[in-house]
A and B are shown apart, each in its own frame.
Chain A
Amino acid sequence: MYVAVKGGEQAIENSQKLLAEERRGDTGVPELSLDQIREQMALAVDRVMTEGSLYDPELAALAIKQACGDLQEAIFLLRAYRTTLPRFGVSEPIDTGHMAIRRRISATYKDLPGGQVLGPSFDYTHRLLDFALAAGDTRPVADIAEQAVDSGMPRVTDILNHEGLVEVEEPESDDTPVFDLTRESPRYPADRPARLQNLARGDEGFLLALGYSTQRGFGNNHPFAGEIRLGEVAVEFAPEELGFPIEIGEITVTECQMINQFKGSASQPPQFTRGYGLTFGHCERKAMSMALVDRALRAEEFGEPVEAPAQDEEFVMAHSDNVEASGFVQHLKLPHYVDFQAELVTVRALRKQAFAAAEVNPVSDAAE
């Protein structure tokens, strides 16, 4: 518990002025524009939108600038901003099957219909520092093929579906309410929609570590990256006054379909099972981690023992949010003077008792 304290107004004001000056840095260096952040720090923008849970590249760029590049602080700023806006409603589910694809790879089929499309990727770079970038003023030009990639690329999971080799993801009835953690408190056991929303907003580092832990044997789930795709999808929304859906814009998303060995159970034949990851923007590591953890959290559904942290839904869901986690860790900086005084009194009293007991009967503990 911390208590309100008075005073320090001038110090706080000056601290904020100092922060503003340090944020700006050397005024001999040109100030960053939001356009520069949006265009040239695009993956930072994407992460802030995904974990900030608000798709708006300009606002994410502003948050990054304001946070001096501290992405978790930027995520916090975006989360705080979204609470100031009214919600007009919910979209139709986005159709990633009709994505305008910019990247699409599969680690399970080399010859898949539509082909492997690398798109923009760090995967095949050598991770050597590029000093040409340090010199600045680069204007790289990408190659342009005669023909665009196919528009309706089948999903790898649909290819496996034809043989019944992979579990089928069936839509539920449209009347089924969809849990929304921004409106309701989490309940355990949670359903998969609640888990997926939680994971989609969850901290990339936390999910990466949990996903990694499943690969290392803590809830081993034998994953393959069935398919990863990046591109643009239309968002359809049906305004009340119209009564039919219109496309209100296009967003960039990354989708990961993990497929996992499953040896079957009493009720299900042996087949591949699935883990799903979906993020705003290009957040591939996050989408893959999310898919690994989604599958791990389905352990109970498949009759697997729940033994590892990544399989424990309450552990994962209660600790995935970096705004909550950061708030609780960082609140320790706030004045706890009264708390601490109380603890001091307690510890002094306990010490007194302990010393007194030792003088009266020095071997009493050993005797017991």
Chain B
Amino acid sequence: MSNEHPVPSEQTAEQQSRRRWMSVLSKADFPDLDALWGNLPSKPAWTVVRPPEIGMVMVRGRAGGSGGRFNLGEMTVTRCAVQLDDGALGFGYVMGRNKPHAELAAVVDAMMQTPSRRDTLERVLIAPLSLRHDARTDQRGRKAASTKVEFFTVVRGS
């Protein structure tokens, strides 16, 4: 669904790729991410630049869905920044208050910026997480589809 959002054209291809993997990492179920991470054969050392911190983001809506912006309410978000030994900086911004999730998302974000690691990580971590997310969405969508109804208008007095 969200992949259909128009991406502002000023973003570079690199930014668009990063935007995608960071989104996948944020939206992943933490147990899935943690399990796939546990299976990775080689993991780099990292330094926590900004320890996981819990805060909020104000969620905005639009009047009528398409009109003027308004503040709907806040959501909890946890963020974290890490640095790998090769200097790559990674950020994690994750809904909720799960600090390990934010840190792991930041580590994988940093690793994804190392070209030699990217293909493998994409295959063993990002793609499976993305598939699981899509499968959950599809499952909900199929249950909803089972409740699709046809209403008939009954003509009176005929």
Partner-B contacts on A (CB < 8 A): 49-50, 53-56, 58-59, 82, 85-103, 110, 115-120, 142-149, 151-152, 155, 157, 169-172, 176, 178-182, 192-194, 196-197, 200-201, 231-232, 234-237, 239, 241-242, 244-251, 253, 255, 257, 274, 276, 278, 280
Contacts and interface: CB of A to CB of B under 8 A. Distances in A.
Interface in B25-77: 26-27, 53-77
A92 B72 CA distance: 12
A155 B65 contact: yes
Given A90-B57, A91-B59, A169-B63, A117 B145 contact: yes
Contact of B5 (A85, A95, A146, A249): A95
Contacts of A91: 57-60
B26 A249 contact: yes
Contact of A54 (B61, B74, B81, B142): B74
Contacts of B53: 86
B147 interface: yes
B114 interface: no
A93 B141 contact: no
B96 interface: yes
A117 B23 CA distance: 28
A96 B67 CA distance: 12
B54 A85 contact: yes
Interface of B: 1-2, 4-5, 8, 11, 15, 18-19, 22-23, 26-27, 53-77, 79, 81, 91, 93-97, 137-151, 153
Given A100-B141, A255-B65, A88 B27 contact: no
B148 A115 contact: yes
Given A54-B76, A193-B68, A239-B79, 12 more contacts: A55-B59, A88-B93, A89-B57, A117-B148, A147-B145, A148-B137, A171-B66, A197-B71, A239-B91, A248-B23, A248-B26, A248-B95
The 10 closest A-B pairs by CB, nearest first: A249-B95, A148-B141, A169-B67, A169-B64, A145-B145, A247-B23, A55-B75, A193-B70, A143-B146, A53-B73
A171 B62 contact: yes
Nearest to A109: B151
B53 to A, nearest CB: 8
B131 to A, nearest CB: 15
Contact of B140 (A93, A102, A197): A102
A98 B61 contact: no
A197 B72 CA distance: 6
A119 B26 contact: no
Contact of B69 (A56, A87, A193): A193
Given A88-B56, A247-B23, A249-B27, A97 B66 contact: yes
27 contacts: A53-B74, A54-B56, A56-B96, A86-B56, A88-B56, A88-B93, A89-B57, A97-B66, A102-B143, A103-B147, A118-B149, A120-B147, A146-B145, A148-B138, A148-B144, A169-B64, A172-B68, A178-B71, A192-B68, A193-B71, A232-B140, A237-B77, A244-B11, A247-B26, A249-B75, A250-B27, A253-B72
